[in-house]
Amino acid sequence: MAAPFLEVKHVSKSYFEAGKEFKVLETVGFELAERDFVCIVGPSGCGKSTLLRIIVGLDTPTAGSVRFEGKPLVPENPQVAMVFQSFALFPWLTVEQNVELGLEARHDPPERRHAQARKFIDAVGLAGFENAFPRELSGGMKQRVGIARALAVEPLLLCMDEPFSSLDALTAQSLRDEILQLWSTPDLPPKAVLMVTHSIEEAVYMADRVIVLSNRPGRVVAELEIDLPRPRNRKEPEFFGWVDEIYSLIV
């Protein structure tokens, strides 16, 4: 059998402060296959963001391992890209320069960088804003830049850390739809998406599979296959059924 696309195995994470141990994650494990859109939900402080940071290589686990395409994960893995809750755009770079960041790090020649950046700026609907600074953009547009920057490096795995929680509800909803639209476009790069959120509705709306973490220390409580047809309607009773079930798992 081929190795799973992403394999998170018995990952634990503790912080030590003044000789005391604070457990954040305890033996978390799950797998991601190609074409998976997975959401991790859990109450705030359950370590879900820490888990994501470990997966992208920003943090190291106290125990356990993360394997990507069967190989142990190297930090600064170019095949994993990330979208940040706070956007994390460089304020002194234009939209285009921000999107080119990962390509520059790969030493792509300027022409290729421009072409690639334009393609993804276009894909997230920001054509026309190439030469704008982030401060000129609304929150929703900033996050589009963040998404374009992540997609531009053509990652195999796209990780998103609460990508919509800094946005107003209206903007967040239209961005969710656009991400799903992008995801359904087969020629766009990522083979799998892993998203962390505290909103159960958001997870049910977007994911093929939801991984539910418990309160601190975070453990996997359940893995649920959301089999609702797309596009999903948040007003339907089946939708509420899923939301209620996850609620009861967490509380």
- Contact residues toward another protein (CB under 8 A) are 53, 56-58, 75-78, 80-82, 84-88, 90-94, 96, 101-102, 104-110, 114, 118, 125, 127-133, 135-142, 149, 153, 166-171, 173-175, 177-178, 235
In this structure, the dihedral spanned by the alpha carbons of residues 171, 175, 40 and 117, taken in order and rounded to 10 degrees, is -130
Identity of the residue, 20 or 71, whose beta carbon is nearer to another protein in the bound complex: 71
- Give min distance, CB of 230 to another protein, in A: 16
- Give min distance, CB of 2 to another protein, in A: 26
Cβ-contact 9, 29 below 8 angstroms: yes
- Distance CA(101)–CA(225), nearest Å, equals 35
- Give min distance, CB of 173 to another protein, in A: 6
- Give min distance, CB of 89 to another protein, in A: 8
Identity of the residue, 70 or 128, whose beta carbon is nearer to another protein in the bound complex: 128
3-class secondary-structure state, position 42: coil
Identity of the residue, 27 or 173, whose beta carbon is nearer to another protein in the bound complex: 173
Identity of the residue, 120 or 212, whose beta carbon is nearer to another protein in the bound complex: 120
Identity of the residue, 20 or 135, whose beta carbon is nearer to another protein in the bound complex: 135
**Peptide bond just before 72 cis, omega within 30 deg:** no
- Give min distance, CB of 251 to another protein, in A: 21
Helix pair angle (169-184, 139-152), 10° resolution: 20
3-class secondary-structure state, position 240: helix
- Give min distance, CB of 121 to another protein, in A: 9
Identity of the residue, 3 or 88, whose beta carbon is nearer to another protein in the bound complex: 88
Q: Backbone phi, then psi, for 124, in 5-degree steps?
A: -95, 10
Cβ-contact 198, 162 below 8 angstroms: yes
> Token pair 């992008």 is at which residue?
182
Six-digit token string for 227? 């089999």
